[in-house]
């Protein structure tokens, strides 16, 4: 009886040990290709709502010796400022699309503070291109101070609080913005385990996509042009009733390998709305009437003037301290949204913004695009985004030539 029980115990232990070894080897393999892919910088794991986690990945952010262009702002900046166009225009630098969904100016400052404190001044960009809109500068939704966000949606703060090993976010101490507070060692250890066990899948998926793309490239397959890529409802998981016929048709037109390479590239890109069909006018108007989304049209800059001037001054001073060349771009906006602002209130907002920026180069592209160039009220489609990016690139080059 003892021998039989002992054999069962030994078999059970052997099974668990074997499973642990297999799990460990698999994890090491995926961690290896993940570090390789992230070091190449052409992967953007985590999509809307979780995109702030990218700032917690040292391989993406801590790149000493690299001359970086960091593109920041809300999601509209992420769709309008194309990092690949910046790479082409500035071959001696590498551009990173660091825009975040529902981001505010406070999120931007918090992110820069996090980068400086965690990765050091060497990790700060050489050039920072900040795309802004009234909603962004007004910090709508408000996530700090006594006014609570009605939706309680805080992607950046949630990511830092839950997955950073170094800091928590203090939202209550200052009426002018959020602050970073050091974590206790046990909080950091718990955050590390939480991240390691719960948040690796998007990294692995992006890394495998990069590896397969590199393999196909090595074999000699070309990549289908970006402009040929079709609109889909769920581009990153197209095996569904609506998208499957579209992706199959794309594969027949471009051949399987070039189509696959293009899909693998877009899968690991930072873009979201560029793959969707534009909303119709009525749907955009309905969106603009939604409670919470139209808060920016009613915002009075005079009531928050102290906060805006404080945060913009903080941004300018932070850039100066770290030797960053800062460029601010007022992003394009659909006329359906522009027409809802009180002209006097909007003009006063621009006055505060430009005065606080001082000599910082400022480019106003708010009226650059036509309504049909947008997915909704603010996110540009691909070809218009190229036009916006090229205009910003030309603006930066003109400024650099004058210096």
pLDDT in tens, 207-216: 999 999 999 9
- Decide which of 17 and 375 is more confident: 375
Predicted confidence at residue 296, as pLDDT, reads 86
Q: Which residue has the tokens 């961690």?
A: 31
User: In the predicted model, is pLDDT for residue 8 greater than 80?
Assistant: no
Average pLDDT over residues 70-78: 97
For residues 93 and 187, give the distance between their C-alpha atoms in angstroms, rounded to a whole number: 37
Peptide bond into 141 cis (omega under 30): yes
Predicted confidence at residue 290, as pLDDT, reads 78
* Residue 247 pLDDT class (50, 70, 90 cuts): very high
CA distances from 28 to 25, 204, 295 (A): 5, 11, 47
Q: Which residue has the tokens 């002018």?
A: 176
* Residue 48 pLDDT class (50, 70, 90 cuts): confident
SS3 call for 68? strand
Predicted confidence at residue 149, as pLDDT, reads 59
Predicted confidence at residue 183, as pLDDT, reads 98
Q: Which CATH architecture has domain 48-199+292-402?
A: 3-Layer(aba) Sandwich (3.40)
Average pLDDT over residues 161-180: 93
- Decide which of 11 and 328 is more confident: 328
Q: Whose CA is closest to 400, among 88, 130, 133, 129?
A: 129
Q: Which DSSP letter does residue 184 get? A: P
Burial track 18-35 (b if 16+ CB lie within 10 A, e otherwise): eeeeeeeeeeeebeebbe
13-22, 140-149, 151-160, 253-262 — which one is most confidently predicted on average? 253-262
User: In the predicted model, is pLDDT for residue 19 greater than 90?
Assistant: no
Residue 76 CB neighbour total at 10 angstroms: 27
For residues 375 and 274, give the distance between their C-alpha atoms in angstroms, rounded to a whole number: 7
User: In the predicted model, is pLDDT for residue 229 greater than 90?
Assistant: yes
pLDDT tens digits for range 318-327: 999 999 999 9
- Decide which of 388 and 28 is more confident: 388
Q: Whose CA is closest to 275, among 290, 286, 263?
A: 263
Q: Which residue has the tokens 């471009």?
A: 254
> Is residue 80 a contact partner of residue 331, using CB atoms and an 8 Å limit?
yes
Instruction: Write the Ramachandran bin of 65: left for phi over 0, alpha for psi from -120 to 50, otherwise beta.
Output: left
Predicted confidence at residue 173, as pLDDT, reads 84
Regarding pTM above 0.75, the answer is yes
For residues 39 and 42, give the distance between their C-alpha atoms in angstroms, rounded to a whole number: 8
Average pLDDT over residues 350-377: 97
* Residue 287 pLDDT class (50, 70, 90 cuts): confident
User: In the predicted model, is pLDDT for residue 90 greater than 80?
Assistant: yes
- The neighbouring-strand residues paired with 180 are 169
Domain ranges of the chain: 48-199+292-402, 202-274
Cβ-proximal residues to 363 (8 Å cutoff; 6+ apart), any chain: 327, 328, 329, 330, 391, 392, 395
User: In the predicted model, is pLDDT for residue 21 greater than 90?
Assistant: no
User: In the predicted model, is pLDDT for residue 130 greater than 80?
Assistant: yes
> Is residue 326 a contact partner of residue 315, using CB atoms and an 8 Å limit?
yes
Average pLDDT over residues 253-280: 94
Q: Which residue has the tokens 């180069």?
A: 361
Least reliable range by pLDDT among 9-13, 183-187, 302-306, 372-376:
9-13
CA distances from 351 to 134, 169, 346, 363 (A): 12, 31, 9, 14
Name the pairing type of β-strands 68-72 and 94-97: parallel
Give the chain's end-to-end CA distance (angstroms, integer).
87
Q: Whose CA is closest to 96, among 50, 56, 61, 122?
A: 61
For residues 150 and 143, give the distance between their C-alpha atoms in angstroms, rounded to a whole number: 9
As a whole number, the mean pLDDT across the chain is 91
SS3 call for 167? strand
């Amino acid at each position: 009886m003892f021998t039989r029980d002992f054999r069962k115990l030994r078999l059970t232990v052997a099974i668990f040990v074997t499973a642990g070894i297999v799990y460990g080897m698999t994890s090491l393999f995926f961690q290896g290709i993940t570090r390789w892919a992230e070091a190449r910088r052409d992967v953007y794991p985590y999509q809307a709502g979780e995109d702030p986690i990218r700032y917690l990945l040292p391989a993406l952010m801590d790149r000493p010796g690299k001359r970086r262009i960091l593109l920041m702002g809300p999601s509209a900046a992420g769709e309008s400022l194309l990092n690949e166009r910046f790479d082409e225009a500035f071959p001696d630098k590498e551009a990173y699309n660091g825009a975040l969904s529902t981001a505010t100016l406070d999120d931007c400052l918090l992110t820069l503070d996090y980068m400086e404190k965690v990765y050091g001044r060497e990790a700060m960009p050489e050039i920072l291109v900040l795309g802004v809109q009234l909603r962004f500068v007004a910090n709508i939704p408000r996530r700090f101070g006594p006014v609570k966000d009605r939706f309680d949606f805080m992607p950046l703060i949630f990511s830092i609080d839950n997955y950073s090993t170094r800091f928590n976010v203090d939202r209550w101490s200052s009426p002018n913005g959020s602050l970073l507070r050091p974590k206790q060692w046990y909080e950091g250890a718990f955050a590390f385990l939480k991240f390691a066990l719960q948040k690796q899948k998007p990294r692995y998926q992006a890394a495998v996509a990069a590896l397969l793309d590199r393999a196909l490239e090595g074999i000699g397959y070309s990549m289908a042009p970006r402009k040929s890529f079709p609109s889909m409802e769920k581009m990153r998981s197209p095996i569904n009733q609506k998208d499957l016929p579209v992706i199959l048709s794309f594969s027949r037109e471009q051949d399987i390998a070039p189509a696959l390479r293009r899909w693998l590239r877009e899968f690991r890109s930072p873009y979201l709305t560029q793959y969707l069909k534009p909303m119709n006018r009525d749907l955009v108007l309905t969106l603009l009437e939604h409670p919470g989304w139209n808060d920016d049209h009613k915002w009075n800059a005079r009531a928050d003037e102290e906060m805006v001037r404080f945060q913009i001054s903080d941004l300018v001073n932070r850039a100066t301290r770290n030797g960053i060349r800062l460029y601010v771009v007022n992003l394009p906006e659909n006329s359906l949204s522009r027409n809802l602002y009180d002209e006097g209130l909007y003009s006063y907002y621009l006055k505060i913004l430009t005065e606080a920026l001082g000599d910082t180069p400022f480019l106003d592209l708010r009226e650059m695009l036509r309504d049909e160039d947008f997915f909704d009220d603010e996110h540009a489609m691909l070809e218009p985004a190229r036009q916006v990016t090229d205009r910003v690139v030309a603006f930066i080059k003109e400024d650099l030539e004058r210096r």
